Amino acid sequence: MNEKLMFELKRKLPTVSLVTYVALFFIFLIGPIFIVVAISFTATPYVVFPPEGFSLQWYERFFDYPPFVNGLIVSIELALATAVVGVIMGVPAALAVTRGRLPYSDSIMVFLLSPLSMPLIVVGFALMFYLSALGFGVSFLSLLIAHTVISVPYIIRTVAGVYRGISPEFEESAAALGANRLQIFWHITLPMIKPGIFAGMLFAMLISIDNLPISFFFGSVETNTLPVVMLSYLENQFDPSVAAASTIQLLVALVGLFVVERIYGLDAMAPAS
């Protein structure tokens, strides 16, 4: 009996270990988010968990505090602009490097993806001096350029990943039938790389909305994003309104995912095998 029990335990041990690891991993990821959301509904004027009472006063505080609202608007506008500019720049680069027969294409790809491997605080510090020398200063344009720099690699990576999985025979067949390069791109290439474009845009928007290190260097009264406003608020006050702001920021990201799912479908963003 003992031997049979030990055999069953050994047989199920890998499965139990995997399930336990996955459960702890998701608790580690989702636990802090759950705590922040719960604190945003507390009735106390200080941060405490578990929350005491239930109140929406901190959400009212969010919408009554102009810097929070302005920061949210700037963040959304910046995320949308970053995604659009990133696609305009990233898609041609991905196509050229992936199948453009360029010399040292692998080295060029590594260079284009290099912002992913650099600390954002270093990128922001360098861009601040560089854009100031160019005369852009602290402005929405500087914010857009900086956010595009760190977002384009995500678009390049996703588009290149999808494009590598597409057989060149489709484009070659269209060319053999008399289609020019623009027609080939619009009718053949673009429909097939849409999953990569949508995925890259989604990553770019999420990275932009949540970014603090880059935005911190280019913030002003008119161009402060929500994460920068939240950091400034915490320097002087520590109440649950910041938790409400974090929850609203999370809600914006979830709404973006929902819109993409309804319009395009998240399942379609994965290339077919």
Instruction: Reply yes or no on whether the pLDDT at 273 is more than 50.
Output: no
Least confident of 80-89, 168-177, 202-211: 168-177
Q: Residues 65-80: what's their mean pLDDT?
A: 89
Question: Which residues, in sequence order, are CB contacts of 264 under 8 Å at separation 6+?
Answer: 194, 198
Q: Which structural domains are found in the chain, ordered by start? A: 67-269 (1.10.3720.10)
CB 229 within 8 A of CB 209: no
pLDDT of residue 8: 65
Output phi, psi for 47, to 5 deg: -80, 125
The distance in angstroms from the start CA to the end CA of the chain is: 47
Using the predicted structure, report yes or no on whether residue 156 has a pLDDT greater than 70.
yes
H-state helical runs in the chain:
2-39, 57-64, 66-99, 105-112, 120-133, 140-164, 169-176, 181-184, 190-210, 213-217, 226-236, 241-263
Instruction: Quickly state the pLDDT bin for 28 (edges 50, 70, 90).
Output: confident
- pLDDT band with cut points at 50, 70 and 90 for residue 120: confident
Span 159-182, average pLDDT: 82
220 touches 138 (CB < 8 A): yes
Q: Which of 2-6, 47-51, 109-113 is predicted least confidently? A: 2-6
Please name the residue that has the structure tokens 């335990």: 9
The mean pLDDT value for 90-99 works out to 86
pLDDT at 82: 92
Q: What is d(CA 176, CA 36) in angstroms, rounded to the nearest whole number? A: 58
Q: Return the pLDDT at 203.
A: 85
Q: Is the pLDDT of residue 6 over 70?
A: no
pLDDT of 179 over the 70 cut: yes
